[in-house]
Amino acid sequence: ISVWLPGGEEMEKERETLQTWKERVGQELDRVVAFWMAHSHDQEYGGFFTCLGRDGHVYDDLKYVWLQGRQVWMYCHLYRKFERFRRPELLDSAKAGGEFLLRYARVAPPGKKCAFVLTRDGRPIKVQRTIFSECFYTMAMNELWRVTGEAHYQREAVEMLDQIVHWVRKDPSGLGRPRLPGTPDSESMAVPMMLLNLVEQLREADDEMAGKYAELGDWCAHKILQHVQRDGQAVLENVSGDGKELSGCLGRHQNPGHALEAGWFLLRHAIRKGDPELRVHVIDKFLLLPFRSGWDPDHGGLFYFQDADGLCPTQLEWAMKLWWPHSEAMIALLMGYSDNGDPALLHLFYQVAEYTFRQFRDPEYGEWFGYLNREGMVALTIKGGPFKGCFHVPRCLAMCEEMLGALLSRLAPVRDPGAGSPSADPAR
């Protein structure tokens, strides 16, 4: 580890830059949390408004279940991990959101299938034939259990995760997706990614869960790694069940921000496992490769979608710059640097962070814009919507603040640059 520690003056400069970013990130986290606390709480029905305009006004009162679960998780996580967020109003709002989910998320209780979007008062409007509403429900419940100690939340989390695993690995018929004769045998990287994230969530400081889901975690990592294709030259979003490239646009589809997110999920997994080969592989294939092919050389920022053959994607928004690929890239690159100390990764982190703070951040009303055009100008002025809530931005800021703190504490006590210091745990 010690070999990469910079010496003397250089180290002092690095420390200053890290310290500056730690402060920027921490202050931004405060502002972002303040935005959601000021504008998103539904005092009447519980849960959160997420359709918020630039200044925070509610432009629609629909309740998207992904975003309800994510905000509950985020509030609890901040409450649990940061002294300065141990505030009763965060916990109370998280609990009200949790009660809203418990009461309304499932379409036909005791069945576990959750709606995608609900009316303000909790009546289901639409159901997706996927597992994602259920995954965010699980994250919320597990984190609620961690902050409250109330066992019924954890029971909800485990039962839901077991149902999800059943749908994914045993029998998907409960999801309601028809399997037609021409349907390709396609597997999306999103599914094992989400599951790996849930395994990580449930196993934290919990030996029972760590044991119960150890095999699932390995299975997820294996499945995600199958998306590295073309002799290691491309991460593809969809591959066949036996890990081959699929034909057509479906097979060539790439999402660089998603690959980077998978990267830090995998890296965290590999660090926990103590698997040095996997760590190297993940940094190479899921951090550096998607960053290099996904970064727009003309205008900066990560493209939303790409085609592995360099053809034009068919998605209208392919060249837009979305907030979440950039927040995931910040996490991934800083975690990669924390792991292997390669200064190239730190410089990429700075590159993404500079772009992100400059282009997405709204100094006037707080929070970040979500959707920029290819050139980096704001295309949608909304701060929240059907897919943007209180999640990617504060998760990124919270994790970066922690990782920057760990890096600084690793540098701080070292007067003799040759002496090294214990490695920070980037997966904390």
Q: Which listed residue (6, 24, 99, 119) binds a copy of itself by CB under 8 A?
A: 119
Site string for a copy of itself, 263-302 (x = CB under 8 A): ----------------------------------------
Q: Please count the residues of the chain.
A: 428
Q: For residues 129 and 347, which CB has a smaller minimum distance to a copy of itself in the complex?
A: 129
Question: And the tokens for 372?
Answer: 């920029």
User: Where in 189-267 does DSSP place strands (E)?
Assistant: 228-229, 234-235, 238-240, 253-254
385 binds a copy of itself (CB under 8 A): yes
Number of alpha carbons in the 13 Å side-chain half-sphere of residue 315: 15
Measured CA to CA, the distance from residue 134 to residue 157 in angstroms comes to 9
Q: For residues 186 and 423, which CB has a smaller minimum distance to a copy of itself in the complex?
A: 186
**What SS3 class is residue 21?**
helix
Q: Are 31 and 366 in contact (CB under 8 A)?
A: yes
Burial profile 65-81: b = 16 or more Cβ within 10 angstroms, e = fewer: bbbbbbbbbbbbbbbeb
Q: Which of residues 72-111 bind a copy of itself (CB under 8 A)?
A: 107
Question: And the tokens for 7?
Answer: 């010496």
Alpha-carbon torsion (172, 176, 180, 184), positive or negative? negative
Site string for a copy of itself, 40-69 (x = CB under 8 A): -----------x-xx----xxxx-------
406 binds a copy of itself (CB under 8 A): no
Number of helices (H), then strands (E), in the chain: 15, 14
Q: Which of residues 122-161 bind a copy of itself (CB under 8 A)?
A: 122-127
**What SS3 class is residue 117?**
strand
**Residue whose entry in the numeric block shows the structure tokens 């034939």:** 129
Q: Which listed residue (94, 118, 160, 168) binds a copy of itself by CB under 8 A?
A: 118
Residues touching a copy of itself: how many (CB under 8 A)? 44
Stretch that binds a copy of itself, among 35-43, 160-168, 175-183, 337-345 (CB under 8 A): 175-183
Stretch that binds a copy of itself, among 6-14, 247-255, 398-406, 410-418 (CB under 8 A): 247-255
Which residues in this chain contact a copy of itself in the complex, by CB under 8 A?
A: 51, 53-54, 59-62, 107, 115, 118-119, 122-127, 178, 180-184, 247-249, 311-314, 316-320, 371, 373-374, 379-382, 385-386
